[in-house]
Structure 1
Amino acid sequence: MSDHPITTPAPAPSPTPAPEPPYYVAVFTSLPTPHQSGYAETAERLGALVRDIPGYIGEDSARTPGGLAISVAYFRDLEGIERWRRDAEHRVAKERGRQQWYERYSLHIARVEHSHSFRRPTPA
């Protein structure tokens, strides 16, 4: 008998369904520092805030075993991205990220001209 507890893995998150183009994406890739105090709480708070931005569609994110984090936020228009960029709490968090949480990061904004989704049918 194993001394390791049996755990049920959390269900995998579903990708954001492809909205009707055109729309915009903000792709944020980052490499964290070891100093992550307060990061999880701030990320949770910002996740709640961004959902209230007009034009926000959804977000997908992933992290590699080496620590590289990738977040893709989907917006109906550039105005939504600009509202998010100007949000006071978001601006404070970005500054803290530069000072404490990120070794480096990149942000890319792009217009999506084509997209589609796939979902395997559920067996009957």
Structure 2
Amino acid sequence: MSVIMKTPEPPYYAVIFSSQRTDGENGYGAMANKMVELASKQSGFLGVESARDDQLGITVSYWDSIDAIHAWKEHSAHIIAQEKGKSEWYQSFSLRVCKVERQSFFEM
């Protein structure tokens, strides 16, 4: 998840999940890995980028449609992870869904 994704030509959608964690691991890492693995198998999934320091985590997932985002939100395993996030893993979080209309890349 530490690679800049090569996304297709716009338009497509980005889901930006920003979070502040609670103390302790409590199975978070294993669940995060499982969610990326499951999401990558969903129709419409284009990729994911993620970064975290000791205060803030940001994960951006890319999707080809709003319908694909909605289907992922309603996936049964993802619902369990969302509930655990609210009860155990996150002190606070925000979720933003954006339509990507333009992009550019630079690489040395």
TM interval, shorter chain, is over 0.9
1:53 and 2:42 matched: yes
1:62 corresponds to which of 51, 64, 70? 51
Q: Which residue is 1:74 aligned to?
A: 62
Instruction: Structure 1 unaligned segments of length 5 or more: list them.
Output: 1-11
2:92 corresponds to which of 96, 104, 107? 104
> Counterpart of 1:79 in structure 2: which amino acid?
D
Instruction: Report deviation, 1:119.
Output: 1.4
Q: Which residue is 2:71 aligned to?
A: 83
Work out the number of aligned pairs and report it.
108
TM-score calculated relative to the size of structure 1:
0.83
Is the CA contact (8 Å cut-off) linking 2:7 and 2:47 kept in structure 1? no
1:34 corresponds to which of 2, 9, 23? 23
Give 1 or 2 for the bigger CA radius of gyration: 1
Q: Which residue is 2:6 aligned to?
A: 17
Q: Which residue is 1:8 aligned to?
A: none
Instruction: Report deviation, 1:63.
Output: 1.2
Percent identity among equivalent residues? 32
Instruction: Structure 2 unaligned segments of length 5 or more: list them.
Output: none
Runs of 4+ in structure 1 over 6 Å off: none
Cα RMSD, aligned residues only: 1.3
